Amino acid sequence: MGLKLIIFDWDGTLIDSADRIISCMQKASVDVALPVPSPDAVRNIIGLGLPEVFEQLFGRLSVAQQEQMRERYGYYYIEQDDTPTEFFPGVRDGLERLRRCGYRLAVATGKSRMGLDRVFAETGLGLAFEHSRCADETRSKPHPLMLEQLLEESGCRVDEAVMVGDTEYDLAMAVTAGMVSIGVSYGAHQPQRLLKHSPQCIIDHFSELEQWLEACS
């Protein structure tokens, strides 16, 4: 296939942050006097940008409510919540092996730029990724603009890239962009939802991505 660029989602694909996202969204909704969403409801929206998240969880909010939710969610996620977030097994070493094999790595995430830069710094992985796009600087998933911009910035053709993600928003984005995709079974959405968007495969462990790439080379 001549793949050169591997584009990863972040939350739920590289790092296990679902419990923290759920906890912070629930605490923020209490502070803003909104109905507290269930864990499943929050898990369903992981990967979207915050405006889309708020609309799906709470319906139409006023501008003031949106700003309050954004501020309280950020406050809990960055400063107050200590729910652990760890890389999924095999991710850190696997990313380094992919770089040594000559693959170029990128991130397409529902996080804000501030949020992604912060976790890049905290994890020390910022230098591993040549390119990244965040939901507050482009269109939110599943719109394909995020992928189109990464292709333009990297100089890669769509047939030289693959999208790896754990939600149907990731895979639907890839379908619309004309890009092949790989789903991961260990993230926010169940494999049955991912299969609707025709991924090349669904992996149960990060090392299986390396195996798939070897088979394609």
Which of the following is catalytic: 11, 16, 166, 170?
11
* Catalytic-residue membership of 19: no
Q: Residue 135 has what DSSP assignment?
A: G
Cα separation of 160 and 44, whole Å?
Answer: 30
User: Half-sphere exposure of 200 toward its Cβ, with a 13 Å CA cutoff?
Assistant: 19
* The two three-digit tokens of residue 6, written as one number: 């591997």
* Catalytic-residue membership of 9: yes
Q: Residue 190 has what DSSP assignment?
A: -
Torsions phi, psi for 36 (to 5 deg): -75, 120
The region that residue 2 occupies, defined by phi over 0 for left and psi between -120 and 50 for alpha, beta otherwise, is left
C-alpha distances in Å from residue 71, one per residue of 11, 24, 155, 213: 20, 11, 36, 41
Cα separation of 150 and 4, whole Å?
Answer: 13
Beta carbons within 10 angstroms of residue 112's beta carbon? 17
| 206 closest CA partner among 166, 158, 172, 173 | 166
- What residues act catalytically? 9, 11
